[in-house]
Each structure stands twice: as structure tokens, then as C-alpha cells.
Chain A
Amino acid sequence: MGRITLDKVAKRFGEVEVIPPLDLTIEDGEFVVFVGPSGCGKSTLLRLIAGLEDVSGGEIRIDGQNATELPPAKRGLAMVFQSYALYPHMSVRKNIAFPLKMAGLSEDEQKKRIDNAAKILNLTDYIDRRPGQLSGGQRQRVAIGRAIVREPAAFLFDEPLSNLDAALRVGMRLEITELHDRLKTTMIYVTHDQVEAMTMADKIVVLRAGHIEQVGTPLELYRAPRNVFVAGFIGSPKMNLIAGAEAGKHGCKTIGIRPEHIAVSPTEGTWKGRVGVSEHLGSDTFFYVHDTGLGEDLTVRVAGEVELHSGDTVYLTPDADKLHRFDDTGLRLA
């Protein structure tokens, strides 16, 4: 079981309030992703849950039990660090055995669990090596192995893949998702990566300056961002946000339209502009369109390859159904 409840949890470092009182419930078995700009308090929140930082106020409950004052060792959670944090003087086997040894499990039970974890994570070939003799991806696997053998109530990941190269990241992303499907244990995952957040999460928590801006499934956040911040944060490339007269026509302060919801035509459309840089990804093409008269440059995403050159005039038409409207305070209008 791993139901985690944060009740008015707050954290201050000296005078600085990094996390103002915050409520959040993470259901058993859920895969929850924390996203937000750098310095918004994602790691701090994770470390509060882990018990590596003391809360300045509020209560943390794990499976209904008050864990606020419990030391990390007693919370039954496992953590995977961005830096892997393996014990350099121990072999892979001993690294994985360490939490079991600390829990006082019998040798037989330890061996059984280690062999099982090694099999799941393909660690068998290098089980007797030291961390220094492994590649980054292998080290991260060992770190995950060390977390799963304990059968914790929940896993905490702090940007576990950000030290890996792009190809390996995709592979490990799938492995972690498969692991979650297999173990069905609660996972809390901090990331900068849009794709990781969108593909892995059951529920995304968007944070800004320690505040929760919105909680929802990836598609809820994509389709109906609660405010301008979430609208601009979720989605890549970023949603176009247009204020001023054009927004006035729709009866609001700001309108938002995602780059993929704009139709491009060489002859007619709502907005006229001049093509600047275009980025060809093969599957998609991104255009940056200037001189639209909207006060903002627009980003447009078109499927496939499109021949448009810098300086060409284009006409853009937003998909009316996919237009987002926000009021004076930045909140979404229905």
C-alpha cells in the first residue's frame, strides 16, 4: 500500500518560504509526476515526503499513519537519485543487498530478492562489478534495483534520467513505465522533461514557486489548462499566448492556441504573417511567424514536411474549437 497525503505541508529555509502550505493526495498505485520551472520546489517537496528535510508545518500521512516526524529509514519509501548515489565501495550485489541487510532479512531471502531484481532489470551480467565499472544507464538500473528489492510503499524519483543520453533515456523511460505496470506501486517522479511527464504520468502536478497550479491527467492539462501558466508550461512547442485587441474579439484578456492547432495557407486565413526560421524534424515542421500584427510572434507546427521559406507570406487560421480563453487574472474561461 502507498497512499500519501500531504496536509498543509509547508517548508521554509530561514526566511524564504519555498513551499507555502500545500495539500495533495497521492492514491495507492498512482504514477504521479511533479513538473515546474527550475527552482519551484519539486525536489524539496519530494525530499519532504522522503523525510530528508523536516517540514516547517503541516502533516504527511503515509497509508493513514502520521509520518511527519518519522526518520527516512522508517517511512518505507525508496528513492532513486539523479546522481544514482550508489555505494562506490560495494559490488552491485552488495549495493542491492544493502537495504535488505539493514532490514535484517535472512541470507536466503536476500539472495532470492536480489536474483529476482537482477533478472527484471538485466543486471545479472555485471552483478559482481563495482559501480565505477558500469555505464551511466547500468548504474541507474542498479539504483532502481536497490529501490525495488525492499518492496517499498512508494518510489520517489528525482530526475533519474537526466544524466543519460537521449536514446538511453527513452529506453529507461519505457522500463520504468513497465516496472510500474508490473509492481503497481505508487511512484512519484520529478522531471523537467515534457515527454516523460506526458507519457509516464497517471497524474501530473504542476508547481510554480511552491504552489500547485493544477493537478490532472496529462490530457486534462493539455486540453484544459486551468490558467495561463499551465497553458504555457505543458506542451512542446509552447502554446501561443496572445493578448490585446485580438483577445478582446473573443471577450477575454488572453487567448491561447497551440502550434499544432493552427492551419497554414499561402492564400487566405485569419492572420497574415511572414515566415522566419523553420525547423524541419522530418515528422513535423515548426515555423516561427513574424509580423502577424498580434504583438507576438507565433509558433506553428505542421505535420510532415512543408516547403515554406524564410520571408514567405503565410496566412494562419486557428482551430476555433481548440482556442483557449483566459480572464484578467489568468484563469481559464469556459
Chain B
Amino acid sequence: MRLSRTPKYFGVLDSRILLVVILMLINLPIIIWMLYTYFKEIPVDILEAARMDGASLKNEILYVLTPMAVPGIASTILLNIILAWNEAFWTIILTTVNAAPLTAFIASYSSPEGLFYAKLSAASTMAIAPILIMGWFSQKQLVRGLTFGAVK
């Protein structure tokens, strides 16, 4: 297939490193955009208070900005894990055996010999289980108000 020609040329076809790079590039815009909005929502007053309290730029980022953005960072991470986990188009094209992730594995049940519904369903259920469990445990982080109690 055409899309796999360049990776093949560089000898990285069906390798994990290629998959990592591709998935990161696909999700990067969402990551940047989400983090940007979360960081932007932190009230300027609080950062100015830190400056008045004698914090250097490094300490301001380390002790105030980052901890306050933790819920946002957590939800960004979670969302992007889900997106990467579910990504099928590129993974099916660019992998065969060595680096094939779950999506490629599930897709293999839809073979020329016909659809194996039972196996397909079982594999799909198993595939969503980790995400479901992760989401369950991180929901508190995800919904916690970003600035609760900081400003009136």
C-alpha cells in the first residue's frame, strides 16, 4: 500500500517506534490544545500572589502552576491514552506482526473467510476493559474543580 512505502524505505515498517511516533503526532494538537486551556484557566491572581510571595519562575511553575493543572493534565493523559488505544487506521496499515496492537488483532477476526462474531466480541470487550477500569479510578481527578476554593 502507498501509505506504507516511506516507512518501508526507512526500514521502520511494523516497528513499535514508528507506531509511537505516528500516534504521538496524531494526538499532539489535541494534547497542546487541552493543556493550553487548562493552564489558561488558572487565575492570574494566584500566579501573581506566588510572585509576590517571592517565588522564582521555576518555583512558580513547580509549586503553583503544575499542581493546579494536575486535573487537566490527568484528563489530557487519559483522553490521549484512549485515543491511542483505539486508533485503528494507521496501526492496521503500518503494522503486521511485530508491532501489531489490539486494534490490528481485532481486525484480524474480520478475515476473508468470514466474520467470527463470538471471538470478535470477546476480543473487543477485553480491549475496552483496561480503559474502562482506568477511567473508573481516575474520574475523581477528571471532574475535580480546577480552582475550587481559590477565588471567590
Contact = CB atoms under 8 A, between A and B. Distances in A.
Q: Do A and B bind each other?
A: yes
Interface of A: 50, 52, 71-73, 77-79, 81, 83-89, 98-99, 102-103, 130-134, 136, 139, 146, 150, 163
A43 B150 CA distance: 20
B51 interface: yes
B53 A146 contact: yes
Contacts, number: 86
B138 interface: no
B67 interface: yes
A85 B56 CA distance: 17
Contacts of A132: 148-150
Q: Most A CB atoms within 10 A — which of B46, B67, B147, B151?
A: B151
A131 B51 contact: no
B113 interface: no
A83 B43 contact: yes
B48 to A, nearest CB: 5
Contact of A71 (B45, B51, B63, B67): B51
Interface in B102-136: none
A87 B51 contact: no
Nearest to B53: A99
B12 interface: no
On chain B, which size bracket covers the interface?
20 to 34
Q: Most A CB atoms within 10 A — which of B46, B53, B56, B151?
A: B53
7 contacts: A83-B43, A87-B68, A99-B54, A102-B53, A102-B59, A139-B149, A163-B152
Contact of A85 (B49, B54, B59, B148): B49
Nearest to B69: A89
Interface string B42-65: 010110111111111001000110
B52 A83 contact: no
B62 to A, nearest CB: 11
B152 A83 contact: yes
Given A72-B48, A86-B149, 4 more contacts: A78-B52, A81-B45, A85-B43, A87-B150
Q: Most A CB atoms within 10 A — which of B46, B49, B55, B149?
A: B49
Contacts of B51: 52, 71-73
B49 A102 contact: no
A163 B45 CA distance: 15
A186 to B, nearest CB: 15
Contacts of B148: 88, 132
Contact of B150 (A50, A79, A88): A88
A87 B43 CA distance: 10
Interface string B81-94: 00000000000000
B55 to A, nearest CB: 5
Nearest to A50: B52
A6 B118 CA distance: 80
Contacts of B150: 83-88, 131-132
A71 B53 CA distance: 11
A89 B146 CA distance: 10
Nearest to A73: B54
Contacts of B55: 73, 98, 102
A130 B148 CA distance: 10
B52 A88 contact: no
B16 to A, nearest CB: 36
B52 to A, nearest CB: 5
A37 to B, nearest CB: 23
Interface in B16-56: 43, 45-46, 48-56
A131 B43 CA distance: 15
Given A88-B68, A102-B59, A79 B149 contact: no
A79 B70 CA distance: 26
Q: Most A CB atoms within 10 A — which of B52, B56, B67, B147?
A: B52
A103 B54 contact: yes
